[in-house]
Amino acid sequence: MSAKTASFVLLGLLAVSTPALATCNGTIFNPVTDIAWNGLFPIRVGGFAVATNSNVPDGAQGTVNPICTCTTTSGTFIGTQIGFWDVAYLVEVVDDPYCSTVVGTTVGSAGGSHQGTNDKSVTAPRTFKQVHWWPFNAIQLLGMLTGLSCVQQVPLQMTYLSEIDPSWTEDWLAMLKDPKVFLVANPAADIACGAKNAIAQVPGSFFPSVYDSLFWCAWDNIYPLAGHSSTPHNLTASAQVVARQIYTNTEWGTVEDFTADSQGCSGQIIPVWKSSQWRFQLAKPIKTATPFWAGESELIWDSGKAPAYNDKNFL
């Protein structure tokens, strides 16, 4: 059997109330309790939905061919396509440098690294976050759908830390690593993002082609590809940082599109991300009930998700 999947990521957030007293304490990520498993739905077998959930919109194109053939290094397989939303990545968005909210402790020395900030001023709001990227195949880890010969196989490991990337803290360096910034980082492109955000509010009447065509939008303009965001809202800024990482890793070819292959056999490298193939889920301190789209208002998904705890180490 082959799997044709879209992806959703778990958004990790660490916030600290007083930078000078920042600590990195927390519990280890638990995939059983911290993942909103209804995000896998709808599940299609041979092009027909066999499990769905009315609370989770179906924005993916889905499986169209009931029979498929896949050729891998292990041989050629004939089977039935299965389509579902894959739990694909963990992304930690942190204030405290080198703090891993997946393992619940610090994984490096924070000396010399930028602390997260959150400026809520009316004239120039600005938020800065560090980010860590973890490929994470929950389906493989938990032994689910073990008969899928062509499903993505990846180990659980941290593959990116923004603390060691000089372009993450310097917007001008981030501009140099992607020339498209000079095309879409302007007021006209910023205004166009309003249309994408409007579509994200009503995913039941989703328009993937229009949504994907505004590739530079994820809540606000996705450029520059650095750790600063022009929103004073911590959770929205964190979600936008995650979208930037997906966008960047797609450009680098380290994130593949597993829906592009009509047979659903393998991922393909694409030049620009398809945002309609991604959804987000906040895992801690209070996980979101269902995944949400890039651009979806925080009034829908973050209400009560960041309570004023004294110890604000979130995942």
Which range, 121-125, 144-148, 195-199, has the best average confidence (pLDDT)? 195-199
* In-domain check, residue 310: no
| Amino acid identity for residue 171 in this structure | D
* In-domain check, residue 307: no
Q: Give the SS3 label for residue 254.
A: coil
**What is the distance between the alpha carbons of residues 303 and 305, in angstroms, rounded to a whole number?**
5
**What is the distance between the alpha carbons of residues 299 and 302, in angstroms, rounded to a whole number?**
6
* DSSP letter assigned to residue 257: B
Q: Which of 240, 225, 220 is closest to 280 using CA atoms?
A: 240
| Amino acid identity for residue 79 in this structure | G
Count up the domains in the chain and report the number: 1
Q: Which of 161, 192, 168 is closest to 97 using CA atoms?
A: 161
Q: Which residue has the higher pLDDT, 289 or 306?
A: 289
Predicted confidence at residue 133, as pLDDT, reads: 92
pLDDT at 204 over 70: no
- Domain span at residue 79 reads 2-301
Reply yes or no: is the peptide bond before residue 224 cis, omega within 30 of 0: yes
Rama region for 204: left / alpha / beta (φ>0; ψ in -120 to 50; rest)? alpha
* In-domain check, residue 24: yes
* In-domain check, residue 206: yes
Strand intervals (E) in the chain? 2-13, 43-45, 48-51, 67-72, 75-94, 99-100, 105-106, 117-119, 126-128, 130-135, 160-161, 217-218, 220-221, 228-229, 278-282
Name the token pair of 241: 């940082």
* In-domain check, residue 309: no
Name the token pair of 143: 């032994």
* In-domain check, residue 237: yes
Q: Which of 244, 93, 229, 253 is closest to 161 using CA atoms?
A: 93
Predicted confidence at residue 245, as pLDDT, reads: 93
| pLDDT tens-digit map of 7-52 | 555 554 433 323 333 457 677 888 888 888 888 887 777 767 776 6
Instruction: Tell me whether residue 97 is exposed, middle or buried, using C-beta atoms within 10 angstroms of its C-beta: 0 to 12, 13 to 18, 19 or more.
Output: buried
Residue pair 152/258 in contact by the 8 Å Cβ criterion: yes
Question: Rounded to whole angstroms, what are the CA distances from 188 to 45, 218, 222?
Answer: 43, 15, 14
* In-domain check, residue 274: yes
* In-domain check, residue 315: no
Predicted confidence at residue 152, as pLDDT, reads: 59
Sign of the Cα torsion 228, 234, 240, 245 reads: positive
Whole-structure pTM value: 0.85
Predicted confidence at residue 216, as pLDDT, reads: 93
